[in-house]
Amino acid sequence: MRFAYYPGCSLHSTAVEFDISTRAVAPLLGIELVEIPNWVCCGASPTHQRDSILSYALAVANFNKAELVNEQIGVQCASCYNNLRRALFELHHSDEIKKKVEKVAGLDFGNNVQVFHLLDVFRNQIGLEAIKEKVTHPLKGLNVAAYYGCLLTRPPEAVAFDDPEWPTSMDDILQTCGATMVDWPYKTECCGASLALSRTDVVQKLSHDILKMAKTHGADCIAVACPLCHSNLDLRQKSIEKKFAENLELPIFYYTQLMGLAFGLSGKELGLDKLIVNPWKLLEEKGIGSKKS
């Protein structure tokens, strides 16, 4: 199975461990990821706030580049995924928008590209059976809260591959990898997203609530599929602990890192050293991996 891989800006910078672990895990499941040459911004945050047509035009630019590699595009960043899928949706549903966008981009929109989140690919195309076959080091005793955030499944008509309010695909995959999935209510709550820059206090409160909820439901760690969620929960965890005078100590993994551990990959191969909240104490305690190996 071959995908035109669209990493997006985060996976080349703040979320490089998401990129590393994705590239490590995908081939084991028979997925070939070919990075789209010279991809450009997906049209997220500043652009789509400002002008949706410009945002879709950037998407079309990416689609054109992708087509040179493959018509199926695989994405990991929830925000890129959301933007590219929304653009596709609008282009398919409105000729007027399509015309405008093609004019702005100076490019034609060929109707053939498809955009998939790799979580969808793993869950629904590769399937749990095939994932199970690859598990050599089950994540035994690890209590994981799967956190999907807001962008992965909503708005449902444009992006959903799972139940928009009660998604389960990440739970299914990690359970197959041997983890104990925590039944908790905040799977799709908002982490505060990019308010991190303008209203840090809001993000601290929202992210705190998520961390706290996971903890009180017995989670040892959280799995995510979005770089922004990750940075709010991981990078800001220390300041949140300080602000709320609480000890949370919840490692925040990309779901591909946990898959990789179950497939027997080393911490290095999965970029575990990039995480801010140190995961090793937990992993060693559960006998899942050690920093030295």
Partner 1 sequence: MARIGVFVCHCGENIASVVDCERVAKISASLPGVTYATDYKYMCSDPGQDLIKSAIAEHNLNGVVVAACSPHMHETTFRKAAQQAGLNPYLCEMANIREHCSWVHDDHEKATQKAIDLVRIMVEKVRRNHPLEPVRVSVTKRALVIGGGIAGIQAALDMANGGIEVVLVEKEPSIGGHMAQLSETFPTLDCSQCILTPKMVEVAQHPNIKLYTYSEVENVSGFVGNFKVTVRKKARSVNMELCNGCGLCTQKCPSRKIPNEFDRGLSNRSAIYIPFPQAIPNKPVIDRDHCIHFKTGKCGVCEKVCGTKAIDFDQQDELVNEEVGAIVVATGYDLYNISMDQPNDKLEGYGEYGYGKYPDVIDGLQFERLLSATGPTGGKILRPSDGKEPKNVVFISCVGSRHNAKGITYCSKICCTYIAKHGMLYKHKVPDGNAYVFYMDVRTSGKRFDEFWRRAVEEDGLVYLRGRVSKIYEQDGHLIVKGADTLSGVAVEVEADLVVLATAIVPQPNIEKLFQNLGISYDEYNFVTEAHPKLRPVESSTAGIFLAGACHSPKDIPESVAQASAAASKALILLSKPELEREPLVAKVNEATCIGCFYCLRACPAKAITEKEIKNRAGEVLRKVSEVNPSVCTGCGTCVSVCFSNSIDLEGFTDEQIYAEINSVIERMSVIQQ
Rule CB under 8 A: which of 157-196 touch partner 1?
A: 157, 163-166, 168, 183-185, 188
Rounded least distance, CB 238 to partner 1, Å = 25
Indicate the helix (H) or strand (E) that contains 21. helix 16-25
> Is residue 67 at the binding interface for partner 1, with CB under 8 A as the rule?
no
Nearer to partner 1, 11 or 190 (CB): 190
In angstroms, how far apart are the furthest CA atoms of the chain? 58
Binding-site size for partner 1 (CB under 8 A) equals: 12
Question: Cα-Cα-Cα-Cα dihedral of 204, 231, 78, 224, to 10°?
Answer: -90
Nearer to partner 1, 165 or 273 (CB): 165
For helices 52-67 and 95-105, what crossing angle results, to 10°? 70
> Is residue 138 at the binding interface for partner 1, with CB under 8 A as the rule?
no
> Is residue 216 at the binding interface for partner 1, with CB under 8 A as the rule?
yes
DSSP code of residue 220: S
Nearer to partner 1, 139 or 213 (CB): 213
DSSP E strand boundaries for 57-202: 72-75, 114-117, 143-147, 180-181
Nearer to partner 1, 176 or 188 (CB): 188
Indicate the helix (H) or strand (E) that contains 174. helix 169-176
The whole-angstrom separation of Cα 180 and Cα 160 is: 25
Nearer to partner 1, 165 or 201 (CB): 165
> Is residue 156 at the binding interface for partner 1, with CB under 8 A as the rule?
yes
Stretch that binds partner 1, among 59-67, 100-108, 155-163, 220-228 (CB under 8 A): 155-163
Region of 245 (left: φ > 0; alpha: ψ -120 to 50; beta: rest) is left
Binding site for partner 1 (CB under 8 A): 156-157, 163-166, 168, 183-185, 188, 216
